[in-house]
Every structure is written in structure tokens, then in C-alpha cells.
């Protein structure tokens, strides 16, 4: 505060005396008395009296004025003190400099900010306490403020002693007490560290928020009250087929929401998005579509919220996701539900504690309970007494993640009747792969079981009949061979001993008897071999296929030589588990057929090799023969099935039947691949 100015104005308000300037101080009674006594005439005496009177009044007034002045001075002093205190203890820093920027006054806050005692600051250039880079700006402001006298404000960094730079807002104003007097610059320093921190925090949050918006898979956009895009994240723009900057300011309804699925126009006013900023209502929708830039649409789930600022709706924010996959999954599960619903099998869903969660119509039909009756109940109501251990055992297996397949057991219907069921129980896992329950499919196999029982009984009977038949055919073939040998022997004897007595016709007959008898003998031998296969005790053992093939080849040596057959065996052949003698017989039959069934004048070429098929071994016998039509390939493995007359190719029709029966008895399979005219490949497969 300017003391002089203040005092002057205070003086101006004092009442000035009308009379001439009196002497200071009050007149005593002695001083007044002689004036009354020395006056020569009464008029002048009266005048003197009046003057004295006036002087007294003036003196009184002067005294009052003096008192008033003293009081004014006191209050000015108090005010000055108050302002000084205000200046001194103000929370902001105050610095007063001269026109050159030399510090003339600095308050405590300024001293604290600069970490320099107040008296040290006096006489120093203010620029000394700014960071180097900012001194130039400071000087510019210093001269500008003196030029246009406008208050200036800017942010800079103070350089406190021994401390890191401090962010401050600096305000400068010029003051000049009276024209011609020295210029003063008053600087206000406000510590804005906290504000800066808050600003940075706000920026960080803002960046984080942006990042969050950008990294979410959902589309997010904002619109103003006209429905124009104010922001959109990358995911949202990409889903719609745009870059974000292409959408700013666009009417979003026109961009992606203009038509309905059937192509009919979708007025903006009908859209829930429009509603949310018109009526302030939030809304979630998942039965609509959005359109992409390329003209394709996608099913969408979107939420729309009004943006309310200070109680006023400013627009809306929309978040959306393409739910094509979800819709597909929903459709798939609806289809699945329909299948489950219409299945004849019981499909039951239960918790790991065995509580029924779902129960389809098949289950109602098979077990007699309705869904309402049984959902929430333990599945054990279906278990008949005596089978109580089954369920814990099944649950234990499920907990291990195992699937229980075709578990045949007995269950009890609501009416108490016991039925045979085949259960397939699979663990149900949640998204994290944890087992949370089990689905079980129960098939009523009561009828099947009964049929099976009947078949088993029929099979038993059949086996008994077969055994009888085989014993019979064995003994028949065995016993018939003796009279046959006799017939052949005697016919032979006729030819040898009575040759000269027989005419050519008789000889021909006798030769035919011999031939027929020989053929019948071969037939019976083959039949015997075949029936022996049924009764033979098989003790499968590891055998070398190389040895088997070599033995079969040795047995057929003459036959093969006669036919000029070329046999190639791709050694080494692996081991299999089987019965050696039967295997030799099987392989010999295949090799004999391969060499036999060739077209006239064709030299047989037979190739034998083996391959591994999982745990099994397959032995192939391939020829360059006449081949077999596919429709005949099944029946040639049956007894007496032949595709040719005896005149064309000799044989009994039992060879392949022996191959099949022998291999099946060893737990294997047989088969053929062939085409007429292109040779055949027979195979046997053994463990």
C-alpha cells in the first residue's frame, strides 16, 4: 500500500476550519482575561470577544481533527501491517522486482519455493531462479508487460536451491505509484505441482481408457445428439469394415443400421440407439443385425447407454459384438436339443453327485418317470437293490475323465419292472476342462437281450448239431474210404488181371470207375481235413511265416514245377501267432490256387509278401491269374463253391473253405481283392 496516497485521501475527508488557521493548542483562562480588560471601547471589546469565541471553536475543531488524524494514522498503520502480513504469509509466492527484474521484495512463500532465505533474494535478478531454458521467455514477458501493462500469466519451472525444478504458474502485473516514479513489477508464483500431477494422472487415465477401448474385442463408439460418431475404437471400425477416422462425424445409423435383415428400411427413430439418447434409456439388443461396408450383415449383440453430463443427455455410447459364432452355436445346440428331445434312447444329464439335471422323452418312455418327477432327484432311484455299488464305481471312472461305454446292466422302472439297459456315460466338462457332470445315454436292450439269449440258445443247439454232423461226416468220410478203396482196387484189378478179356468199352468203364473213385477219395480227404479243423485243439504259438511259406512251397514242389510257376517270396516275413500245421495247409491252398487259376498258356507268377497292420500281420498271395468277379468273391470261401467246371480247372471246392475256417479258428480274417483278367490277391491276417 502506498502510504502517501492513503494519507492524502484520508486528509481530504477531514472538515477544514472556516476561520483563519489557529495556533495549535488550547488557550488558558489567563491568556483570555487581559484581552477583555485592555479593550478601549465596547465595540472592539465585543469583536475581540467574538474572535476569541471563534478561536476557541476553531481550536476545539482543530483538536478534534488532530485526534481524528491520529486515529486515521493508527488505522493506516494497522492496515499496512495487515497487508504486510497478507503479503508475508500469503500461501502463494510474491516477488516484487524493479523494471530490470531485480528482486526488491519477496514473501515467505516465495522464499520457501526457492528454498532461499528472504533477505538473500533481495537485490538478485529474478531470472536467476528460473531454469535456463525459460529465462528467455521470462525476459520477453518482462519487457512486454512494461510495454502494454497487461497482466501476463504463463507456466514455468522454478529452480529452487538444492531441489528439483518446481512447476509454477507465474502472473506478472506492472505497477507505478505515480507517473514518473519507478516502475514495479509484481510477480505471483503459484505452486502447480499438484495440479500438474493431477493433469498427468488424468492424461494417464485417459490413455489407459483409450488403450482399454482399443484393446477390447468389442466395438465401442460414441455418438452426439444428431447420431454422429464422436469416437469409435479400432475393433468397432474394423468389424464394420472401416478405419476409425473414416467414421468420425458420420451418421452411424446410416453407416451400419440402415436396413433390417429382410432389406426393408430401418428408420433411425425406431432404433433403440436413437431412443437411448432421446429418452435416456439404456438398452440391450441381440436380435438385430449390423451392416458392414461390403454390404454383408452380421447378427449383433449391442448395448446402448445415454451419455449424461451434468444431468443433460449429450449423446449415447454403443458397444457391440459380432455374434455370428454364438448364433451358430445356439443353432447347433437347438438342433442338438431337438435330437435329444426326439431320441428313443434315454438321454440324462446329471451332476457328479448323481442328481438328475435333465431328462428327455426317451428317458420318460424307458423309465416311466416324467421329467418333473425326477429332475433334482438322485439317479439312484433307478438302481435295483443289489446293484448299489455300480453308481459310485461309474462316478469314480467319470471323475478320472473316463467315458463308460456300453455298460450293460439292469435298471428299475417306475412301475418296478426291471429292464436291461446299455449305458454310455460321458463326463461333461466346463470351459476350463473341469468335470462338472455326466451325460448318460441309456438304451433299453431288454428285447435285444432276450433275442441274444435266444440266439445263444440256438447257437448252442446248432453247435451241438454241428458237432454231431461233423463227427458223422468224419466217420462217414472215414468209413466210406474203405469201400471206395475196394471199388478202386477191384476196378484196377479188372484192368490189370483181365485186360485181355475186356473189350475197349469195358476197359473204358473200368477206367472211369478208377478215376471217379480217385476223385471221390480226394473229396473225402479234403472233407476230412475240413471237419478236422472244427475239432482240432488249437494251441496258437509264435511261428515264422517264412518257415510256413517254405514248407507249403516244398509240399507243392512238383505241382509248381509242372505248371512252370514262378514264385517270389519277399523275405523277410514276420512272425505271427498261429497253428503251424494248419497255417501250412492254408498257405499251400492259396499257392496251389494261384498257380492253378491262370488262363491257358499263361505261366503263373505268384508273389508273396507281408505287411504290418497295427497289431496284426497280413500275408498276401498275388497271382497273374484269371481273376474273380466281385459278386463271386464272397461265396468262394464256402464249402463246394466253385466257379468253374471240373473239366476246366480241377478241384473240390473245399480249399478256400479250409483257408477261412483255419484262419478264423486262429482268430484271424481272410479276404480277396480281384478283378477278372487282372489276377487276384488273397490275404490272411493273423495276430
Using omega within 30 degrees of 0 as the cis cutoff, is the peptide bond preceding 319 cis? no
**8 Å CB contact between 597 and 651:** no
Q: At closest approach, how far in Å is the CB of 528 from ligand ADP?
A: 15
**8 Å CB contact between 656 and 637:** yes
**8 Å CB contact between 341 and 358:** no
Q: At closest approach, how far in Å is the CB of 655 from ligand ADP?
A: 3
C-alpha span between 164 and 624 (Å, rounded): 100
Q: At closest approach, how far in Å is the CB of 672 from ligand ADP?
A: 8
C-alpha span between 659 and 467 (Å, rounded): 20
Q: At closest approach, how far in Å is the CB of 418 from ligand ADP?
A: 49
Rounded to 5 degrees, φ, ψ at 425 are -120, 125
C-alpha span between 21 and 130 (Å, rounded): 58
- The residue (of 394 and 590) whose beta carbon lies closer to ligand ADP is 590
- The residue (of 68 and 641) whose beta carbon lies closer to ligand ADP is 641
HSE at residue 398, side-chain half, CA atoms within 13 A, is: 27
Q: At closest approach, how far in Å is the CB of 516 from ligand ADP?
A: 17
Q: At closest approach, how far in Å is the CB of 621 from ligand ADP?
A: 8
Closest alpha carbon to 559 in 514, 498, 606, 628: 606
Q: At closest approach, how far in Å is the CB of 658 from ligand ADP?
A: 8
Residues forming the site for ligand ADP (CB under 6 A): 589, 593-594, 597, 623, 625-626, 628, 636, 641-644, 651-657, 680
Cell of 8: 492524502
Secondary structure class of 383 (helix, strand, coil):
coil
- The residue (of 56 and 633) whose beta carbon lies closer to ligand ADP is 633
Q: At closest approach, how far in Å is the CB of 545 from ligand ADP?
A: 19
**8 Å CB contact between 107 and 186:** no
- The residue (of 356 and 636) whose beta carbon lies closer to ligand ADP is 636
- The residue (of 374 and 656) whose beta carbon lies closer to ligand ADP is 656
Q: At closest approach, how far in Å is the CB of 482 from ligand ADP?
A: 24
Cα–chain center distance at 615 = 39
- The residue (of 437 and 651) whose beta carbon lies closer to ligand ADP is 651
- The residue (of 75 and 648) whose beta carbon lies closer to ligand ADP is 648
Dihedral angle computed from the Cα positions of residues 241, 245, 249 and 251, in that order, rounded to the nearest 10 degrees: 0
Q: What burial letters (b/e) apply to 42-67, b meaning 16+ CB within 10 Å?
A: eeeeeeeeeeeeebeebbebbeeeee
- The residue (of 651 and 668) whose beta carbon lies closer to ligand ADP is 651
Spatial CB neighbours of 551, under 8 Å, sequence gap ≥ 6: 584
- The residue (of 237 and 656) whose beta carbon lies closer to ligand ADP is 656
Q: At closest approach, how far in Å is the CB of 631 from ligand ADP?
A: 13
Orientation angle between helical segments 42-89 and 29-38, nearest 10 degrees: 150
C-alpha span between 377 and 348 (Å, rounded): 12
- The residue (of 59 and 623) whose beta carbon lies closer to ligand ADP is 623
Amino acid at each position: 500500500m502506498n502510504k502517501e496516497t492513503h494519507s492524502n485521501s484520508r486528509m481530504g475527508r477531514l472538515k477544514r476550519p472556516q476561520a483563519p488557521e489557529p495556533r495549535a493548542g488550547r488557550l488558558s483562562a489567563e491568556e483570555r482575561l487581559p484581552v477583555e480588560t485592555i479593550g478601549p471601547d465596547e465595540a472592539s471589546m465585543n469583536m475581540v470577544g467574538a474572535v476569541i469565541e471563534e478561536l476557541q471553536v476553531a481550536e476545539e475543531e482543530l483538536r478534534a481533527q488532530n485526534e481524528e488524524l491520529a486515529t486515521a494514522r493508527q488505522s493506516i498503520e494497522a492496515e499496512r501491517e495487515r497487508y504486510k502480513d497478507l503479503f508475508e504469509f500469503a500461501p502463494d509466492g510474491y516477488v516484487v522486482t524493479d523494471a530490470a527484474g531485480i528482486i526488491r521484495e519477496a514473501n515467505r512463500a516465495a522464499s520457501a519455493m526457492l528454498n532461499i532465505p528472504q533477505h538473500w533474494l533481495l537485490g538478485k535478478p529474478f531470472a536467476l531462479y528460473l531454469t535456463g531454458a525459460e529465462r528467455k521467455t521470462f525476459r520477453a514477458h518482462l519487457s512486454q508487460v512494461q510495454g502494454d501493462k497487461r497482466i501476463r500469466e504463463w507456466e514455468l519451472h522454478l529452480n529452487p536451491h538444492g531441489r528439483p525444478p518446481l512447476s509454477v504458474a507465474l502472473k506478472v502485473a506492472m505497477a507505478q505509484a505515480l507517473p514518473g516514479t519507478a516502475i514495479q513489477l509484481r510477480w505471483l508464483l503459484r505452486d502447480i505441482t499438484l495440479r500438474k500431477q493431477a493433469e498427468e494422472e488424468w492424461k494417464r487415465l485417459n490413455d489407459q481408457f483409450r488403450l482399454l477401448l482399443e484393446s477390447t474385442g468389442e466395438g465401442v463408439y460414441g455418438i452426439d445428439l444428431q447420431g454422429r460418431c464422436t469416437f469409435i475404437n479400432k475393433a468397432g471400425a474394423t468389424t464394420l469394415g472401416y478405419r476409425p477416422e473414416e467414421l468420425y462425424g458420420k451418421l452411424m445409423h446410416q453407416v451400419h443400421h440402415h436396413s433390417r435383415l429382410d432389406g426393408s428400411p430401418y428408420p433411425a427413430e425406431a432404433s433403440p440407439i436413437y431412443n437411448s439418447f432421446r429418452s435416456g434409456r439404456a438398452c440391450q439388443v441381440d436380435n438385430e443385425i449390423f451392416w458392414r461396408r461390403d454390404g454383408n450383415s452380421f447378427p449383433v449383440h449391442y448395448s446402448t447407454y445415454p451419455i449424461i453430463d451434468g444431468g443433460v443427455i449429450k449423446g449415447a455410447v454403443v458397444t457391440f459384438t459380432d455374434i455370428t459364432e454364438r448364433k451358430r452355436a445356439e443353432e447347433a445346440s437347438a438342433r442338438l436339443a431337438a435330437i435329444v428331445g426326439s431320441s428313443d434312447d434315454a438321454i440324462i444329464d446329471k451332476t457328479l453327485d448323481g442328481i438328475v439335471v435333465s431328462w428327455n422323452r426317451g428317458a420318460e418312455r424307458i423309465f416311466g418317470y416324467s421329467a418333473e418327477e425326477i429332475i433334482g432327484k438322485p439317479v439312484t432311484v433307478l438302481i435295483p437293490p443289489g446293484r448299489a455299488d455300480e453308481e459310485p464305481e461309474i462316478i469314480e471312472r467319470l471323475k478320472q475323465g473316463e467315458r463308460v461305454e456300453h455298460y450293460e446292466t439292469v435298471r428299475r422302472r417306475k412301475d418296478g419292472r426291471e429292464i436291461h439297459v446299455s449305458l454310455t456315460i460321458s463326463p461333461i466338462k466346463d470351459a476350463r476342462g473341469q468335470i462338472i457332470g455326466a451325460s448318460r445315454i441309456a438304451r433299453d436292450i431288454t428285447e435285444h437281450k432276450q433275442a441274444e439269449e435266444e440266439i445263444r440258445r440256438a447257437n448252442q443247439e446248432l453247435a451241438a448239431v454241428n458237432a454231431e454232423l461233423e463227427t458223422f461226416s468224419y466217420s462217414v468220410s472215414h468209413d466210406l474210404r474203405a469201400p471206395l478203396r475196394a471199388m478202386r482196387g477191384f476196378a484196377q484189378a479188372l484192368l490189370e488181371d483181365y485186360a485181355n478179356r475186356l473189350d475197349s468199352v469195358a476197359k473204358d468203364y473200368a477206367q472211369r470207375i478208377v478215376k471217379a473213385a480217385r476223385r471221390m477219395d480226394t473229396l473225402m480227404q479234403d472233407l476230412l481235413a475240413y471237419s478236422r479243423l472244427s475239432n482240432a485243439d488249437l494251441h496258437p504259438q509264435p511261428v515264422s511265416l517264412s518257415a510256413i511259406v517254405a514248407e507249403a512251397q516244398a509240399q507243392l514242389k512238383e505241382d509248381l514245377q509242372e505248371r512252370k510257376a514262378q514264385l517270389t517270396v519277399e523275405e523277410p516275413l514276420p512272425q505271427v501267432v498261429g497253428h503251424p500245421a494248419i497255417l501250412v495247409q492254408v498257405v499251400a491252398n492259396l499257392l496251389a490256387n494261384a498257380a492253378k487259376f491262370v488262363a491257358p498258356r499263361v505261366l503263373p507268377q505268384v508273389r508273396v509278401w507281408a505287411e504290418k497292420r497295427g497289431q496284426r500281420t497280413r500275408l498276401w498271395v498275388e497271382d497273374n491269374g484269371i481273376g474273380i468277379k466281385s459278386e463271386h468273391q464272397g461265396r468262394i470261401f464256402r464249402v463246394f463253391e466253385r466257379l468253374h467246371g471240373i473239366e476246366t480247372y480241377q478241384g473240390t471246392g473245399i480249399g478256400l473253405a479250409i483257408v477261412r475256417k483255419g484262419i478264423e479258428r486262429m482268430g484271424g480274417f481272410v479276404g480277396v481283392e480281384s478283378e477278372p483278367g487282372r489276377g487276384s490277391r488273397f490275404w490272411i491276417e493273423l495276430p
